[in-house]
Amino acid sequence: MRRAVAVAAIVLAACATQPTAPVSQPAFSTADSPFDLGGRISARRGDAGVAGSFAWRHTPSHDAIELSTPLGQTLAKLEGNASGATVQLSDGRTETAPTWRALTERAFGVTIPVDGLASWIRARPRPGAAFQVDRDAAGRVSELRQDGWDIVYAYAEDSPAPFRVTASYPGADPIEVRVVIDRRG
């Protein structure tokens, strides 16, 4: 039970919001499109670390994320839309709230803008917040800085979409989250 909550809190803490100064950047598409991703994730906060897998289905109106151990045991299922968000933990406990932020505060003790992850995982900034980007020689986003996070992307040579995303949040209790995308649908 504690491990499931710790895993979910560390993984989701990768989106803690910190204000940044406005920066002028090239335009990014604000159009949201569905995706279905699967892969591996590892998270480290201070001396604590966890690893596992994830499956994430996103539509502009709904998100469903399942976090599992490396052996496939479900740790948490999160679902949300404009009407609210729910998390079901491996011990059967369920938490519901009117927003992702309220849900994560109640369930994990940390306010987390889960909504922003749908943009970051696709190498684009979260709409409505200041950001800075660096691009590689092919014009792809190689690094994104937003909300106090430094997000670094790795691409296969001929791919426009990243296969690895590493998000780091500095501070007294630094956080690092690494996501490897094994499946896109």
Read off the pLDDT of residues 7-33 as tens digits, 9 standing for 90 and up. 444 444 444 444 443 333 456 777 788
For 14-148, strand residue ranges (E) read: 35-45, 48-59, 62-68, 74-81, 84-89, 94-97, 131-135, 141-146
C-alpha span between 66 and 8 (Å, rounded): 10
What does the pLDDT read at residue 144?
Answer: 96
What are the residue ranges spanned by the domains of the chain?
2-184
The pTM of this model reads: 0.77
What does the pLDDT read at residue 4?
Answer: 46
Homologous superfamily (CATH) of 2-184 is Lipoprotein localisation LolA/LolB/LppX (2.50.20.10)
Q: What is the DSSP string of 121-172?
A: TTTSPPTTS-EEEEE-TTS-EEEEEETTEEEEEEE-TT-SSEEEEEEEE-SS
C-alpha span between 103 and 32 (Å, rounded): 23
C-alpha span between 98 and 81 (Å, rounded): 9
What does the pLDDT read at residue 164?
Answer: 96
Higher-scoring residue by pLDDT: 175, 83? 83
CB 121 within 8 A of CB 103: no
Residue listed under structure tokens 């039970």: 1
The dihedrals phi and psi of 151, each to the nearest 5 degrees, come to -115, 120
Mean pLDDT across the stretch 90-115?
Answer: 75
Q: What is the mean pLDDT of the chain?
A: 81
Mean pLDDT across the stretch 169-176?
Answer: 80
The dihedrals phi and psi of 132, each to the nearest 5 degrees, come to -135, 145
Q: What is the pLDDT of residues 130-142, one digit of tens each?
A: 999 999 999 999 9
Higher-scoring residue by pLDDT: 171, 121? 121
Q: Is the dihedral of CA 118, 119, 121, 125 positive or negative?
A: negative
What does the pLDDT read at residue 24?
Answer: 38
For the beta carbon of residue 166, count every other beta carbon within 10 angstroms: 17
Amino acid at 89: L
What does the pLDDT read at residue 27?
Answer: 67
Work out the angle at residue 18's Cα, subtended by the Cα atoms of residues 3 and 45, and round it to the nearest 5 degrees. Answer: 25
Mean pLDDT across the stretch 137-155?
Answer: 94
Higher-scoring residue by pLDDT: 56, 173? 56
Mean pLDDT across the stretch 40-59?
Answer: 84
What does the pLDDT read at residue 114?
Answer: 65
Residue 40 pLDDT exceeds 50 = yes
What does the pLDDT read at residue 108?
Answer: 60
What does the pLDDT read at residue 115?
Answer: 66
